[in-house]
A = this chain, B = another copy of it.
């Protein structure tokens, strides 16, 4: 009996790495095929390219499909590219309809039609039903395997019917009640089924208030519904209320995980499906966009500075201190931006409460601005024994810390309007704004103010 959580993953990776390095491949093979497909997938994702190839070669044929399903898209594609069509078909033919549909969508059309041809009629129709929907919709997430029953039969008949089946579809927590045209009427939970008397009818015990999900709903809304209602599964229907399939919590967990990772990775200009050990050249290409954009904005900031070379020549202390203002603006702005992006993602920040958030963030910016302006004034004045420089930096700081939260709230909302992902573009645009305002404020105020201030404090 296996009574504890699976062996530490780090240990597993280390053990396999060592075994491969010492050449005991038969041992590795035995070890690998005793693992759960999810663990094999994790091991593949944690392996550098050469080791990944060896591990993949050692996996039993019947494990290939389930492992491929568990892999991130990047790693999966790299493995599938090395397989021929026959191998792909063999690997995927026994998968669930939703898993197979997901998988097929990432393949070339010829492979899709070949794979579909190789399947039995019922299985093919199931997969085609799912393939008809975008993979980010309820229709694309659903599995068409489900047990449907009629409302007018007795609990005893249902129990007898189930007993004839060898097993129920995975994650079955309820049976779907439909009429003779397959219209959705409600669900009979297994819990209700088991606590009912045999002579009760399904109609009496079923829950006709259980929500069904329209096939066109977005996967984001589906995930929110599952989270809010603590669901294990939910029926999917078309606009005529015809029952199409079921969405189960395991697929919803994947959506939640992907959405969350998407934010983290996008903010660094990466993709949530990125392979940790991706080959170098594609990585250079992927990261180039981000670095190139940043270089452009850095040169923009440099151009702002170049407009004030005379001012800098007259007080080189400015060259020393000017970087502090955009830097603080970038940090303050990105705090507001992160809060706003999260608020939008979870649906807390909407049009009707934007003004409230803006008010709060601006007051916060004002207090922060005054606070940090005083601190930089003191430090700068003491460091350079020059009140004028201190005043210029402090005033610029106040301006930038007021602009930063404004940009942090407004930017993601504007980007959303233009259908641009705020997590992806927000950070770059924000720091461009805080850099330009920051440098302009420091050097502009210095250019205008320093002559007067120097007179006054001289």
Copies of this subunit: 2
Query: Which of B237, B253, B331, B363 is the one whose CB lies under 8 Å from A280?
Result: B363
Residue pair B295, A375 in contact (C-beta under 8 Å) = yes
Residue pair B260, A350 in contact (C-beta under 8 Å) = no
Residue pair A261, B192 in contact (C-beta under 8 Å) = no
Q: How far is the CA of A284 from the CA of B362 in the complex (A)?
A: 12
Residue total for A at the interface (Cβ-Cβ under 8 A):
140
Q: How far is the CA of A265 from the CA of B227 in the complex (A)?
A: 20
Which residues of chain B come closer than 8 Å to A209, judged between CB atoms? 1-2
Query: Which of B2, B291, B298 is the one whose CB lies under 8 Å from A211?
Result: B2
A251-277 residues with Cβ-Cβ distance < 8 A to B are: 252-253, 256-257, 259-261, 263-265, 267-270, 274, 276-277
Query: Which of B170, B225, B313, B334 is the one whose CB lies under 8 Å from A5?
Result: B225
User: Which residue of A13, A70, A320 has the most chain B CB atoms within 10 A of its CB atom?
Assistant: A320
A331 to chain B, nearest CB (A): 5
Residue pair A168, B194 in contact (C-beta under 8 Å) = yes
Which residue on B lies nearest to A163, using beta carbons?
B195
Knowing A162-B195, A264-B342, the reply to whether A295 touches B320 (Cβ < 8 A) is no
Which residues of chain B come closer than 8 Å to A211, judged between CB atoms? 2-6
Stretch in contact with the other chain, from A25-33, A36-44, A87-95: A36-44
Q: How far is the CA of A222 from the CA of B6 in the complex (A)?
A: 10
Which residue on B lies nearest to A164, using beta carbons?
B195
Q: How far is the CA of A38 from the CA of B226 in the complex (A)?
A: 11
A155 to chain B, nearest CB (A): 10
Q: How far is the CA of A2 from the CA of B235 in the complex (A)?
A: 12
Knowing A335-B268, A343-B276, the reply to whether A195 touches B214 (Cβ < 8 A) is no
Q: How far is the CA of A17 from the CA of B228 in the complex (A)?
A: 21
A250 contacts chain B at the CB level, 8 A cutoff: yes
Which residue on B lies nearest to A16, using beta carbons?
B352
A319 contacts chain B at the CB level, 8 A cutoff: yes
Residue pair B9, A347 in contact (C-beta under 8 Å) = yes
Which residue on B lies nearest to A324, using beta carbons?
B298
Residue pair A328, B291 in contact (C-beta under 8 Å) = yes
Which residues of chain B come closer than 8 Å to A320, judged between CB atoms? 302, 305-306, 309
A314-370 residues with Cβ-Cβ distance < 8 A to B are: 316-317, 319-321, 323-324, 327-328, 331-332, 334-335, 337-339, 341-343, 347-353, 356-357, 360, 363-364, 367-368
Query: Which of B5, B159, B167 is the one whose CB lies under 8 Å from A214?
Result: B5
Which residues of chain B come closer than 8 Å to A5, judged between CB atoms? 211, 213-214, 217, 221-222, 225
Which residues of chain B come closer than 8 Å to A327, judged between CB atoms? 294, 298, 301
Per-position contact with B for A38-52: 1 when CB-CB < 8 Å, else 0?
110010011110000
A184 contacts chain B at the CB level, 8 A cutoff: yes
A142 contacts chain B at the CB level, 8 A cutoff: no
Q: How far is the CA of A422 from the CA of B458 in the complex (A)?
A: 48
A150 contacts chain B at the CB level, 8 A cutoff: no
A20 to chain B, nearest CB (A): 11
A449 to chain B, nearest CB (A): 19
Residue pair A265, B3 in contact (C-beta under 8 Å) = no
A232 contacts chain B at the CB level, 8 A cutoff: yes
A379 contacts chain B at the CB level, 8 A cutoff: yes
A277-297 residues with Cβ-Cβ distance < 8 A to B are: 277-278, 280-281, 283-284, 287-288, 290-291, 294-295
A85 contacts chain B at the CB level, 8 A cutoff: no
Residue pair B38, A228 in contact (C-beta under 8 Å) = yes
Residue pair A171, B335 in contact (C-beta under 8 Å) = no
Residue pair A163, B221 in contact (C-beta under 8 Å) = no
Residue pair A270, B349 in contact (C-beta under 8 Å) = no
Q: Which 5 A-B pairs have the closest CB atoms?
A: A260-B260, A38-B228, A48-B356, A268-B338, A230-B250
A–B pairs, 30, beta carbons within 8 Å: A2-B209, A3-B212, A4-B212, A4-B214, A5-B214, A5-B225, A9-B350, A10-B347, A13-B350, A14-B352, A46-B349, A48-B353, A159-B194, A163-B196, A165-B195, A190-B194, A252-B253, A267-B267, A267-B338, A274-B339, A276-B348, A276-B357, A277-B353, A278-B360, A284-B367, A291-B332, A302-B320, A302-B324, A306-B383, A312-B316
